[in-house]
Structure 1
Amino acid sequence: MKVGAHVSISGSRVSSDDETPPYDDMRNAVHRQLAFGGNCGQVFTTSPQVWAQPELTDEAAEGFRSETEENLEGPWVIHSAYLVNLCTPKDDLRRKSKESMQAELDAAERLGIPYVNVHLGAHTGAGVEGGLDNAASLIDELDVPEGVRILIESDAGSGTKLGGEFSHLAGIIDRTETDIGICIDTAHTLVAGNDLTTPEAVDETVGRFDDEVGLEYLEYIHLNDSKHDVGTHKDEHALIGEGYIGEDGMRAIVNHPDLRDLPFALETPTEDGKGFAWNIEKVKELRDE
């Protein structure tokens, strides 16, 4: 099973014992993933709250690649900065979003990471069709390195944000000439109006996704429970099995024949003394042999 967490790269070193050599920032991610019991996962290459470029030395990139190859089984994915808005009609925000995405794609190539994950963003008045057109044209202006794929993440669907409906995901695939994929966030999918609380509901939702988007585009899953119910459009993650998706829904997701072989990255909170290690172990308990 490919399961892990969104881990931090912060700090000058992470060492579990005196025999472990100092880790630079990127190798912190591998070390933390192992400490949580994960074998794949997600990272920010820099602060997601500001417009900043990844700062990677050759040593850091080479170390991250070798540590990953030696210790992990599943693929990493880079999550783009929160400020990126592919759908925006505003020229300055579009330029900054394009520069940020290009920097992440270049970093992914240096790090040997096959995916860069991004939200479509908000159309802010351009309308759904206009927003999707804006996003597609921006994506097609990017220089995507060989071996790297952009993943569009499903959204909770509040306000003018796009990605909450499967038709938005299908729409961006249809519009772009770039080979893009999809990352489904289970919490976002639930609150956007798709039931995931029972095996029957999961099967129906997966079937609709396949009909509208195509399972061949689904590359990664953000596995999160939700503190809010179906159709509320409120994005707040919960511990695995302790939210509105619940244990039955989570068990159905991680065992579904069309989903079980995909990599799962957790973005769950730390609450009641339960952090990533607890959540990853919970996922493994829900998985059938």
Structure 2
Amino acid sequence: MRVGAHESIAGGVANAVDRQLEDGGNCGQIFTHSPQVWQNPDIDDDDAAAFRERSTEHDVGPWVIHSSYLVNLCTPKEDLREKSVDSMQREVDAAAQLDVPYVNVHLGAHTGAGEQQGLDNAVSALDELDVPEGVTVLVESDAGSGTKMGDDFAHLGYVLEESAQDLEVCLDTAHAFAAGYDLSTPEGVDETVEELDAEVGLANLACVHLNDSKHECGTNKDEHAHIGEGLIGEEGMSAFVNHPDLVDVPLVLETPNEDGKGFAWNIQRVRDLRAD
């Protein structure tokens, strides 16, 4: 079972491996820089080598780089589009430097251009990237507030179908739940997995952001909860992590650090649910 968390790279990217091991994880995700600002990854070769060596030594992987929150692939604004493409290019290059196989990105928001135009903007922006060999861009499902795209699995399927890139998908359980896919029951999990397969293809599901939700299904509100303690709940989370079509997909947690519970607690919670 591959389960881990989004770890900090404070003090050097190699430290993320040690933090993952401390939390009991064996795969994970990082930001290469603060996701709230336009900033380039700055990873020196020695730190990158240490990250690769520690990951290999302790069998921690796959890793995912999460792109900046400022990236908007759907935008009709040329300046934002250029910044977004440039930022993504630097992320896929950093992934190659670190031997990280995946860079995860949200489609962004069409901000009034319309859904179809937004999706076409995303496709053309992604097609501008020179993605290094061994790196794959993952398009993440979204909660869908405002004009954000990716809340409908059909959006993800369209981008995968139309892009010249060999893209795959990251499913976020809290986002999907907020977008209206009811994961709180075994029946709901089955229906969601069936729809994901129909729209995207389960063969293209490379990673799952496993998060519970603090808000009701269909509210488009994105706020994560501890595994089994949100509104997806224990029954839904157990059904999801034990679903036969999902058992080999890496699970990355972005759960909160509150109520005396952090990543270590949530990772163990997932392992306990799988054991059940």
TM-score by length of 1: 0.94
Distance (Å, rounded) in 1 between the aligned partners of 2:88 and 2:9: 19
- Are 2:131 and 1:144 aligned? yes
* Counterpart contact for 1:120–1:153, Cα < 8 Å: yes
Task: Quote the residue 1:34 is aligned against.
Answer: 21
**Residue 89 of structure 2: which of 99, 102, 110 is its match?**
102
Distance (Å, rounded) in 2 between the aligned partners of 1:10 and 1:56: 12
Query: 1:288: how far off?
Result: 3.0
Query: 1:72: how far off?
Result: 2.7
RMSD: 0.8
> Once the two structures are superposed, what CA deviation does each residue of 1:172-196 show, in whole Å capped at 9, x if it has no partner?
1122011000000000000100010
Residue identity in the other structure for 1:9: I
Q: Find the residue that maps to 1:121 and give its secondary structure.
A: coil
Distance (Å, rounded) in 1 between the aligned partners of 2:156 and 2:18: 34
Residue identity in the other structure for 2:142: D
Task: Quote the residue 2:203 is aligned against.
Answer: 216
> Once the two structures are superposed, what CA deviation does each residue of 1:204-225 show, in whole Å capped at 9, x if it has no partner?
1100111122111110000000
Point out the more displaced range, 72-81 or 100-109: 72-81
Task: Quote the residue 2:7 is aligned against.
Answer: 7
> Once the two structures are superposed, what CA deviation does each residue of 1:246-289 show, in whole Å capped at 9, x if it has no partner?
11111111111111111000000011100000000100000037
Aligned length: 276
Distance (Å, rounded) in 2 between the aligned partners of 1:270 and 1:67: 25
Task: Quote the residue 2:115 is aligned against.
Answer: 128
Query: 1:161: how far off?
Result: 0.2
* Counterpart contact for 2:110–2:117, Cα < 8 Å: yes
Flag structure 2 segments of 5+ consecutive residues without an equivalent.
none
> Once the two structures are superposed, what CA deviation does each residue of 1:66-106 show, in whole Å capped at 9, x if it has no partner?
11001134300000000000000101100100110000000
Distance (Å, rounded) in 2 between the aligned partners of 1:211 and 1:88: 27
Distance (Å, rounded) in 2 between the aligned partners of 1:173 and 1:78: 19
Flag structure 1 segments of 5+ consecutive residues without an equivalent.
12-24
Task: Quote the residue 2:221 is aligned against.
Answer: 234
**Residue 247 of structure 2: which of 260, 270, 281 is its match?**
260
Matches within 5 A, 1:23-172: 25-172=12-159
* Counterpart contact for 2:17–2:60, Cα < 8 Å: no
Distance (Å, rounded) in 2 between the aligned partners of 1:29 and 1:160: 34
* Counterpart contact for 1:237–1:268, Cα < 8 Å: yes
Q: Find the residue that maps to 2:267 and give its secondary structure.
A: helix
- Are 2:233 and 1:246 aligned? yes
Distance (Å, rounded) in 1 between the aligned partners of 2:229 and 2:118: 35
* Counterpart contact for 1:196–1:205, Cα < 8 Å: yes
* Counterpart contact for 1:3–1:74, Cα < 8 Å: no
Matches within 5 A, 1:197-208: 197-208=184-195
Q: Find the residue that maps to 1:87 and give its secondary structure.
A: coil
Runs of 4+ displaced beyond 2 Å:
none
* Counterpart contact for 2:55–2:61, Cα < 8 Å: no
Distance (Å, rounded) in 2 between the aligned partners of 1:271 and 1:106: 34
Residue identity in the other structure for 1:149: T
Query: 1:171: how far off?
Result: 1.2
Distance (Å, rounded) in 1 between the aligned partners of 2:59 and 2:266: 18
Residue identity in the other structure for 2:183: L
TM-score by length of 2: 0.99
